[in-house]
Amino acid sequence: MWLCAMQLVSGRHWQDNREQIAAELAALPKERPLLVLLPENFALFGERQGYLDGAEALGEGPIQTQLAEWARDYGIWLVAGAMPTTIADSDHIHTSALVFDPSGELKGHYHKIHLFDVDVADNHGRYRESETFSPGQECVLVDSPFGPLGLSICYDLRFPELYRQLARAGARVLLVPAAFTAVTGEAHWEPLLRARAIENQCYVVAANQGGIHETGRQTWGHSMVIDPWGRVLASKESGRGTVLAKMELGLIDELHRTMPVLTHARLL
């Protein structure tokens, strides 16, 4: 069983980004089952109006049609890290992770709960996702051959209570698609990812954007797969590419038996 994180340097236009993704999918190994995680903003990486114009209703639109076709054609579990989706009767949208099974069926979705409204010491400076997006309200698990998949997006990574809730609900793989900035990524990306894996005894698959984008923003890269003991099994520093690692299902059960932190936890 293989876990893959795809790293991209996405731009404003879906057509260009689609070519990047297609090239990476064509180079995947043949073993199955295989799960592929795309990063946040894989389809569109730009400004507010671009996200509003490119947003699709859940289950509709050319981006989702292509995602379903890729999942079916390659026989993979494809998790579309995050893309803009519409909200009925609202001038805001969601940023949403979508899970497609190997038949191309949409098995679940998650709307990003924690919005990135912060100031960062980079050339962009001010980030206010709440000006464009509305927050989701629910934790989401999706059943799969890899065990239940716990969904999250980027800034969620800083909120351990979300991941503990997912782990207590049975998550075996925590998915973290992101567009972490270079400044925050260098400081915190890997320590936070490894902590989420260790404290929840789950595999973590983290797919980040990784380069300098058309907008001038710079993202950190370092997409990786981490095992439940906190070991980084595969990582890519920068640029486009896919990292993958084998999932050992028995490792999670062994840790639950020998170090049962989830049952020892006293503050619920």
- Catalytic member of 24, 112, 129, 202: 112
Tokens representing 175 are 């998915």
Task: Output 103-107 pairs: Cβ under 8 A, ≥24 positions apart.
Answer: 103/71, 103/72, 104/68, 104/69, 104/71, 104/72, 105/68, 106/58, 106/59, 106/64, 106/68, 107/142, 107/143, 107/144
Has 154 been annotated as catalytic?
A: yes
Q: CA geometry: angle at 5 spanning 17 and 16, to 5°?
A: 5
- Catalytic member of 4, 56, 129, 154: 154
What is the rounded distance in angstroms from the CA atom of residue 235 to the CA atom of residue 244? 8
Has 112 been annotated as catalytic?
A: yes
Which candidate, 230, 203, 207, places its Cα nearest to that of 220?
A: 207
HSE of 30, CA atoms in CB hemisphere, 13 A: 0
Which residues are tagged catalytic? 40, 112, 154
